[in-house]
C-alpha cells in the first residue's frame, strides 16, 4: 500500500495541495497518495487521530485548524512553537505527533531565492497580526533585516506579537497611523483584506524608492494590495503563489527527505489561474 498524505481544512475544495504534492511525487519517483479532506470544525482532533491510526504518514493543515494542530502536537519545531501555529504534522520514530510550520521559510525562499529579493539589512514592514503573520516573523528575522515593523489596525496586537519575537532581532509593533514619516524597502501584506478589494490605510511615502511589495494572498488577477503597490511605483510586485509552492516543498522534504524543484510548478499553477 502506498504511503498516505492529506491536507485537512474547512473549506478545502479550493486547495491546490493535492496537485502540488502529486507533482512533487511524480517528478521525484515517490509513490504516495495525497488527498484534500474536509474536516468538521468540531472534529479536528478525532480526524487527526484516525488518520495516523490508519497508517497515514503526514498531514498539511490549513484554515481554520493551524492553532488546533499546534495544540495537538506533542513535539513542535522552534518555528512552530513561536508561531503558535502548525501546518505540517507527522509521527516520529517514537510515535510522537510532531508539528512544524513551513509558511515562513516558504515565503522567504520565494522572495530571496526565486526572485532575488533582499531581506538582509532591509527595512521590512509586515502588515497584519494574525495567524499568517505569526508564521513568518521568525524566518524574516533570521534573514537579519535592518528592522522589522509589524503594523496592524489594532496596534496592541502588533506590539504584543513583536514582543514574542523581540529576542530574535529588531522587531517592533505599531498601528498604521504610526507609519507616517517612515519608509520601507519591502512591504509584506499578511492580511486577507486584499482579496476583498481592501488595502490597509498606509500613509504616503511608506514604500521606499525601488521598494518591493509582497502579498501573501494570491488570485488570478492582481490583488488590491498589488494594485496599490503598482500605484506606488514598486520595483517588484509579487503575490503568494510561490510561497504556497515553497512551503509545500518544505513539508515534502520533512516527510520524504527529498527537496523537490518548484519553478516549473509555480509557472504551471500561474497559467492555470488565468485559464
Residues assigned a catalytic role = 66
Q: Is 268 annotated as a binding residue?
A: no
Q: Is 90 annotated as a binding residue?
A: no
- The response to whether 56 counts as a known ligand-binding position is no
The rounded distance, in Å, linking the Cα atoms of 259 and 251 is: 9
> Annotated binding residue at 128?
yes
Neighbours of 128 (CB within 10 A): 23
C-alpha triplet 160, 202, 154: angle, nearest 5°:
30
Q: What is the C-alpha to C-alpha distance for residues 206 and 160, in angstroms, rounded to an integer?
A: 22
Is 159 marked within a binding site? Answer: no
Closest by CA to 200, choosing from 252, 150, 141, is 150
**Rounded Cα–Cα distance for residues 49 and 191 (Å):** 31
Is 30 marked as a binding-site residue? no
**Is 13 annotated as belonging to a binding site?**
no
Is there a binding annotation on residue 88? no
For 6, phi then psi, to 5°, come to: -165, 165
| Residue 157 counted as an annotated binding residue | yes
CA 34 – CA 275 distance, rounded (Å): 24
Do 126 and 150 contact (CB within 8 A), yes or no? yes
Cα of 60 vs its chain's centroid, Å = 12
153 is in an annotated binding site: yes
> Is 267 flagged in the annotation as binding?
no
Q: Are 149 and 133 in contact (CB under 8 A)?
A: no
Q: Is 216 annotated as a binding residue?
A: yes
Of 44, 228, 244, 259, nearest to 135 (Cα)? 244
Q: Is 103 annotated as a binding residue?
A: yes
Annotated binding site for shikimate: 15-17, 62, 87, 103, 218, 247
Annotated binding site for NADP(+): 128-132, 152-157, 216, 240
Annotated binding site: 15-17, 62, 87, 103, 128-132, 152-157, 216, 218, 240, 247
Amino acid at each position: 500500500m502506498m504511503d498516505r498524505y492529506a491536507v485537512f481544512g474547512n473549506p478545502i475544495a479550493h486547495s491546490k495541495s493535492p496537485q502540488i504534492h502529486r507533482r512533487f511525487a511524480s517528478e521525484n519517483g515517490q509513490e504516495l497518495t495525497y488527498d484534500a479532506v474536509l474536516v468538521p470544525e468540531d472534529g479536528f482532533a478525532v480526524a487527526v487521530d484516525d488518520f495516523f491510526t490508519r497508517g497515514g504518514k503526514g498531514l498539511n493543515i490549513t484554515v481554520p485548524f493551524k492553532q488546533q494542530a499546534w495544540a495537538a502536537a506533542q513535539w513542535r519545531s522552534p518555528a512552530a512553537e513561536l508561531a503558535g501555529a502548525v501546518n505540517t504534522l507527522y509521527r516520529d520514530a517514537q510515535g510522537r505527533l510532531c508539528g512544524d510550520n513551513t509558511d515562513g521559510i516558504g515565503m522567504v525562499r520565494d522572495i530571496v531565492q526565486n526572485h532575488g529579493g533582499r531581506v538582509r539589512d532591509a527595512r521590512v514592514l509586515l502588515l497584519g497580526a494574525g495567524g499568517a503573520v505569526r508564521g513568518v516573523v521568525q524566518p524574516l528575522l533570521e534573514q537579519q533585516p535592518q528592522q522589522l515593523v509589524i503594523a496592524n489596525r489594532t496596534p496592541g496586537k502588533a506590539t504584543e506579537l513583536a514582543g514574542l519575537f523581540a529576542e530574535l532581532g529588531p522587531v517592533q509593533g505599531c498601528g498604521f497611523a504610526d507609519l507616517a514619516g517612515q519608509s520601507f524597502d519591502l512591504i509584506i501584506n499578511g492580511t486577507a483584506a486584499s482579496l476583498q478589494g481592501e488595502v490597509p490605510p498606509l500613509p504616503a511615502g511608506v514604500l521606499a524608492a525601488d521598494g518591493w511589495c509582497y502579498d501573501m494572498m494570491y488570485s488570478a488577477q492582481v490583488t488590491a494590495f498589488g494594485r496599490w503597490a503598482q500605484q506606488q511605483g514598486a520595483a517588484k510586485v509579487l503575490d503568494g503563489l510561490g510561497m504556497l509552492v515553497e512551503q509545500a516543498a518544505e513539508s515534502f522534504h520533512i516527510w520524504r527527505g527529498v527537496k523537490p524543484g518548484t519553478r516549473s510548478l509555480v509557472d504551471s499553477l500561474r497559467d492555470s489561474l488565468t485559464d
